Structure 1
Amino acid sequence: MLDFSVSEKLKKLVPDFKVSVICYHHIVISELPPIISERLPLFYENIKLSLENQPFSDIPGIKEWRSMFKQAGTDPSRYRPSQEALLRKIKKDGRPHMIHSAVDLNNFFSVQYSIPMGIYDLAQINAPVRLTVGTSADTYDGLNGRMMNMENKIISADSEGAFGSPIVDSRRTCVTEHAEHALQIVYLRPSMPDEEAQRLTGKIAEMFTQVHGGENEWTIIR
């Protein structure tokens, strides 16, 4: 299993912080199978309808993650949790951008469970990996086309520096169709009981390997 840890700094600021770490091996990334892709439009349409009369701040997963951002020192009105950004995209456009099976499935999970999630090319990551709170030295080229300053934000970093967060991830470690091994970080809600967190992680890992083949291994880290 990947050498992965949560820093004491992050534990102190967010005492109940926990994530699921899933590693996938020998996967094949392409397009989502029809049995999933044909159902996604209706799924996202139902999500869009549900958002018409529900403020984002009332959605439990968003409310909890906004609170965690504040604990870490991040202004959640300026830097939104990634699942909130996805939901805002759905409310505006009806669906997120469709990219390829790994990202599309990752986005589906994030929306369904209202938690931030990240998917990365494991071949581009140099262990150990640590989740911490960034400093002014932590920057990267984000998938949103911006150079991200990750000071006072929750980040994942390897020996080369920061590469991801529950806000937006970096181009350096993004998953492409050529990736054969991947890392998935599931940013669990602190309020989620351990048994539920284990069931959720197992379900995500199983569905991902059903779509992409290969094997998975996972653990929950605090």
Structure 2
Amino acid sequence: MSISVTVSDDVRALAPGFAHLVVEARDLVNGPSDEASSALLDEAAARLAARLGGQPPQGEPHIAAWRAAYTAFGAKPSRTRNSAEALARRALAGGGLPRVNRLVDVYNAISVAHVVPVGGEDLARIEGGMRLVRATGDEPFETAADGEPVTEHPEPGEVVWQDGIGVTCRRWNWRQGVRTRLTEDSTSALFLLERMAPMTLDALEEAGAELVELLEKFSPGARIELGEIRR
């Protein structure tokens, strides 16, 4: 891996059941959502519905573990849901999953099908390494409100992903910033798959392998590297 991805000791202490898997991809071809990426999202929603068997997403053990982790750092999991739960709820709702762009559709499909948080960052926009830390509260987080750029700051103690410039994702995997998000012009990406026990490491590896397979299908010729699972 060409980029450093680390987890601070205080986050490990907060959630000893956490592990993550990194996928780096270059020479990608992105663009608007299309029939193929839309079909992928529909298939993922069907896989989720079959897996849950009518129970709500928060009843799934992996989602319940993420809710506990959010509570541990002071977030309200029913108000600020982890990304896997938020997508699962949308997948089961009448409107279905959002169509963003081909790369985002691919990783959202993996998230829904495997009930695992997956984030995608534009490698070209990341400065330095990526770190999962508990925030001081001073770090900048670039977002938007009513279509206008806004700089926010996380709450002290909040778990955030950050690079050398500022926060890239607040409340672990709740809200991604605009600076590093994948756009239709993105050609390189860093994908983060995040697991809490009781999801097995084998299940996390399976989700990562399927992500690689789909990236190769949607971007033939891309250079993709699947990292090792890290705790």
Length-normalised TM-score, structure 1? 0.87
Question: In the TM superposition, what is the alpha-carbon distance from 1:8 to its structure 2 partner?
Answer: 0.9
C-alpha distance 153-29 of structure 1, shift in aligned 2 (>3 A): same
Deviations 1:131-150 (A, max 9, x none): 11223113423378676543
C-alpha distance 196-49 of structure 1, shift in aligned 2 (>3 A): closer
- Is the contact between residue 62 and residue 198 of structure 2 (CA under 8 Å) also seen in structure 1? no
Q: Does 2:168 correspond to 1:150? A: no
Moved more, 11-20 or 212-221: 212-221
Give the 3-state SS of the residue equivalent to 1:93 in structure 2. coil
Moved more, 47-56 or 91-100: 47-56
Q: Matches of residues 148-187 of structure 1 in structure 2 within 5 Å?
A: 148-151=152-155, 152-164=157-169, 165-187=172-194
Question: In the TM superposition, what is the alpha-carbon distance from 1:106 to its structure 2 partner?
Answer: 1.3
- Is the contact between residue 14 and residue 72 of structure 1 (CA under 8 Å) also seen in structure 2? no
Selected match of 2:207 from 200, 204, 207: 200
Question: In the TM superposition, what is the alpha-carbon distance from 1:35 to its structure 2 partner?
Answer: 4.8
Measure, in 1, the Cα distance between the counterparts of 2:39 and 2:116: 23
- Is the contact between residue 26 and residue 181 of structure 1 (CA under 8 Å) also seen in structure 2? yes
C-alpha distance 17-216 of structure 1, shift in aligned 2 (>3 A): same
Give the 3-state SS of the residue equivalent to 2:96 in structure 1. coil
| Amino acid across the alignment from 2:70 | F
Question: In the TM superposition, what is the alpha-carbon distance from 1:50 to its structure 2 partner?
Answer: 8.0
Measure, in 1, the Cα distance between the counterparts of 2:38 and 2:190: 23
Runs of 4+ aligned structure 1 residues displaced above 6 Å come to 48-52, 143-146
Q: Which residue of structure 2 lines up, in the alignment, with residue 112 of structure 1?
A: 113
Question: In the TM superposition, what is the alpha-carbon distance from 1:89 to its structure 2 partner?
Answer: 2.3
- Structure 2: segments with no counterpart, 5+ residues: none
Moved more, 47-56 or 177-186: 47-56
| Amino acid across the alignment from 1:215 | R
Moved more, 32-41 or 7-16: 32-41
Q: Which residue of structure 2 lines up, in the alignment, with residue 217 of structure 1?
A: 225
Measure, in 2, the Cα distance between the counterparts of 1:143 and 1:60: 33
| Number of aligned positions between the proteins | 222
Counting aligned pairs with the same residue, the percent is 25
Question: In the TM superposition, what is the alpha-carbon distance from 1:47 to its structure 2 partner?
Answer: 4.9
Q: Which residue of structure 1 lines up, in the alignment, with residue 20 of structure 2?
A: 19
Question: In the TM superposition, what is the alpha-carbon distance from 1:215 to its structure 2 partner?
Answer: 1.4
Question: In the TM superposition, what is the alpha-carbon distance from 1:207 to its structure 2 partner?
Answer: 1.7
C-alpha distance 116-153 of structure 1, shift in aligned 2 (>3 A): farther
Question: In the TM superposition, what is the alpha-carbon distance from 1:91 to its structure 2 partner?
Answer: 3.5
| Amino acid across the alignment from 2:202 | E
- Is the contact between residue 44 and residue 94 of structure 1 (CA under 8 Å) also seen in structure 2? no
